[in-house]
C-alpha cells in the first residue's frame, strides 16, 4: 500500500488513520461510560444500599482520582517511549477489572479500593489515545479528529444516563458495574489487534498531512527533557487554569444527579437525564468548538470556553426545581464541557515541542487529577454540612472563573515554534 492509502492496482483503500480513530473512539466510549457515566448515575443507589454519606460518596471518586493523578503524568511519557498501542492495551485490563469489582463492593473500603483500580486503568486511555491521534492526522485535521474522539465522552456518559437507571431499578446497580467491567476487559483484544503507533510503520503519511509531518513524527527526532517543559511559564498557566476548570466541572458533574434526586426531589429517572443531556449536547460542543479553534486559534478558543463555564454552572443553580430550566443550564454546561479536554490536548501540541506532546499532555493531566481528588470530597462535605449543594456549586463556579482569568495571561503559541525553527535540520534528522 502506498503512502496515501492506495494499493498497486490504483484502488483507494481506507486510510488506517480512520481505523485508529474508530478504535480510539470505542475505547474512550467505554472508558468514559465507566469513569464519568456510571459513577454519578449509580451513586444515589450505592449511597442508599451501602449506607454511605455524601462525603463518603465523594471519597469513592477521590480514590479513583488519586490513582489517576499518580499514573497519568507518566502515561504520556510512556507513550512517547514505547507507543500508545502497548500502553492502552495493557491498562484496559485494569480498567475492566476495577469496574467489574465495583459490582462486588460491600462497603466504603472495598468501593474506594476497586474504583482506585479503575483510576489506574483510566489513566492510560485519554492521554495516549489523544497523543496517538495527533500522530495519525495532519495539522489541519487534528482539531476535527480530537473533536470526534472527545464525543466519546458524551456518547458514553449520555447512554449511561439512559440505560443504567433502568438496569439499577430492574436488577441492581451491581449489574450495571459488572456489564461495564466485561466491556472494559474486551478492549484488550480490540486495541491489541487494530492500533498502530506511527503512520510510517505502514508506509503512510498522516491523513490530511504531508511528508514533512511524517518526518516530524519520526522517533529519531531530538528528545525533549521534562525540565524543558516544566520551566515554561505557559505550562503552569495552562495547568493551573485546567485545575480550576476541572474543579468547577466535577463539583457539578459528580453530584448533579444526586442534587436533583435528593435535594430537589426530582424522580430518579428524570434526574439521571441531566447526565444524558449534558453528555449528548457535549458531542456537537466538542466537535464544533475544536473545528472553530482551527480558525481562531487555540488561545482564543480556550479563553471563550473557560470564560463561559462559570455562568453555565450558575444557570443550573438559578433553575431551582424547574426541570426544563435545569435541563437548559445542564445543556449549556455540557456544550462547553465537551470541548475542555480536547482543547487541553491541542494546547499540549501547540505550546510544546512535537517530540514531547505525550509527556506535556500527561503532566498537564496531573492538574486534572488533583482537581478530581479535591472536588468530590469538598463538594460532598459542604453539602453535608450546609444541607444543600448550592454552596458547593457556587464554589465550583468561582473556581471556573479563576481558571478563565489565568488564561488571559496565555501568549500565542508561537514561541516554541520559533525556537524549533532555529534548530539546524541536521539536529532533527
pLDDT digits (tens, 9 = 90+) for 191-222: 888 888 777 777 777 776 555 555 554 544 45
Whether 396 is covered by a domain: the verdict is yes
Whether 221 is covered by a domain: the verdict is no
Whether 376 is covered by a domain: the verdict is yes
Whether 210 is covered by a domain: the verdict is no
Nearest to 380 by CA among 267, 242, 245, 250: 250
| pTM greater than 0.75 (yes/no) | no
| CATH number for 393 | 1.20.1250.20
CA distance 135 to 197: 8
CA dihedral 231, 237, 238, 243 (to 10 degrees): 110
CA dihedral 210, 214, 216, 222 (to 10 degrees): -160
Which pLDDT score is estimated for 219?
46
Whether 208 is covered by a domain: the verdict is no
Residue 49's Cβ-count burial label (10 Å; 0-12, 13-18, 19+) is middle
CB–CB of 281/334 below 8 Å?
Answer: yes
Whether 222 is covered by a domain: the verdict is no
Considering only 9-23, 157-171, 212-226, 294-308, which range has the smallest mean pLDDT? 212-226
Whether 3 is covered by a domain: the verdict is no
Q: Show the domain range for 45.
A: 16-201+228-415
Number of continuous H segments (helices) and E segments (strands) in the chain: 20, 0
Quick one: cell of 41? 448515575
55-106 per-position pLDDT tens digit? 888 888 888 888 887 887 788 778 777 878 888 999 999 999 999 999 898 8
Whether 303 is covered by a domain: the verdict is yes
> How many structural domains compose the chain?
1
181: left (phi over 0), alpha (psi -120 to 50) or beta: alpha
Amino acid at each position: 500500500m502506498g503512502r496515501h492509502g492506495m494499493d498497486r492496482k490504483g484502488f483507494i483503500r481506507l486510510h488506517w488513520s480512520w481505523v485508529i480513530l474508530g478504535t480510539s473512539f470505542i475505547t474512550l466510549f467505554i472508558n468514559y461510560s465507566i469513569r464519568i457515566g456510571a459513577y454519578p448515575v449509580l451513586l444515589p443507589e450505592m449511597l442508599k444500599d451501602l449506607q454511605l454519606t455524601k462525603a463518603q460518596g465523594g471519597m469513592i471518586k477521590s480514590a479513583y482520582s488519586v490513582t489517576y493523578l499518580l499514573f497519568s503524568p507518566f502515561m504520556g511519557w510512556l507513550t512517547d517511549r514505547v507507543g500508545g498501542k502497548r500502553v492502552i492495551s495493557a491498562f484496559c485490563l485494569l480498567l475492566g477489572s476495577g469496574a467489574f469489582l465495583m459490582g462486588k463492593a460491600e462497603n466504603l473500603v472495598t468501593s474506594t479500593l476497586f474504583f482506585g483500580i479503575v483510576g489506574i486503568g483510566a489513566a492510560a486511555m485519554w492521554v495516549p489515545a489523544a497523543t496517538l491521534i495527533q500522530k495519525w492526522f495532519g495539522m489541519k485535521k487534528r482539531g476535527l479528529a480530537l473533536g470526534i474522539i472527545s464525543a466519546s465522552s458524551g456518547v458514553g456518559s449520555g447512554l449511561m444516563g439512559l440505560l443504567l437507571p433502568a438496569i439499577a431499578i430492574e436488577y441492581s446497580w451491581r449489574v450495571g458495574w459488572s456489564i461495564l467491567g466485561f466491556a472494559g476487559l474486551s478492549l484488550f483484544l480490540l486495541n491489541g489487534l487494530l492500533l498502530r503507533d506511527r503512520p510510517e510503520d505502514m508506509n503512510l503519511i498522516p491523513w490530511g498531512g504531508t511528508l514533512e509531518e511524517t518526518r516530524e513524527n519520526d522517533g529519531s527526532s531530538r528528545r525533549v527533557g521534562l525540565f524543558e517543559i516544566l520551566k515554561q511559564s505557559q505550562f503552569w498557566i495552562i495547568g493551573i487554569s485546567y485545575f480550576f476548570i476541572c474543579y468547577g466541572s466535577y463539583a457539578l458533574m459528580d453530584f448533579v444527579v444526586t442534587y436533583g434526586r435528593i435535594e430537589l426531589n426530582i424522580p430518579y429517572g428524570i434526574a439521571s437525564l441531566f447526565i444524558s443531556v449534558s453528555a449528548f449536547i457535549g458531542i456537537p460542543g466538542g466537535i464544533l468548538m475544536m473545528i472553530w479553534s482551527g480558525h481562531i486559534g487555540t488561545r482564543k478558543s480556550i479563553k471563550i470556553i473557560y470564560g463561559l463555564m462559570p455562568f453555565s454552572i450558575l444557570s443550573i443553580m438559578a433553575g431551582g426545581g424547574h426541570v426544563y430550566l435545569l435541563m437548559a443550564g445542564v445543556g449549556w454546561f455540557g456544550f462547553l464541557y465537551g470541548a475542555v479536554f480536547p482543547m487541553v490536548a491541542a494546547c499540549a501540541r501547540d505550546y510544546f515541542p512535537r517530540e514531547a506532546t505525550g509527556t506535556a499532555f500527561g503532566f498537564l493531566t496531573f492538574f486534572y487529577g488533583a482537581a478530581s481528588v479535591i472536588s468530590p470530597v469538598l463538594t460532598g462535605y459542604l453539602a453535608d454540612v450546609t444541607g444543600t449543594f448550592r454552596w458547593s456549586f457556587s464554589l465550583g463556579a468561582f473556581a471556573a472563573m479563576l481558571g478563565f482569568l489565568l488564561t488571559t495571561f496565555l501568549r500565542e503559541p508561537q514561541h516554541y515554534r520559533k525556537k524549533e525553527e532555529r534548530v539546524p535540520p541536521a539536529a532533527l534528522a
